[in-house]
Amino acid sequence: MNLVSGIIKKNGSVAYISQNVWLRNATVKDNIIFGLPYDEIKFRNIVKVCQLIDDLKNLSAGENTEVGERGINLSGG
In this prediction, residue 3 carries a pLDDT of 77
Instruction: End-to-end CA distance of the chain: give it in Å, rounded.
Output: 24
CB of 74 closer than 8 Å to CB of 67 = yes
> Rounded mean pLDDT of 63-70?
86
pLDDT tens column, 3-51 = 788 887 888 888 887 777 778 889 999 999 999 999 999 999 999 999 9
In this prediction, residue 1 carries a pLDDT of 66
CB of 55 closer than 8 Å to CB of 9 = no
Strands (E), 1-77: 26-27, 66-67
Q: pTM of the entire structure?
A: 0.68
In this prediction, residue 4 carries a pLDDT of 87
- CA–CA distances in Å: residue 3 to residues 8, 11, 38, 43, 66: 8, 18, 45, 40, 45
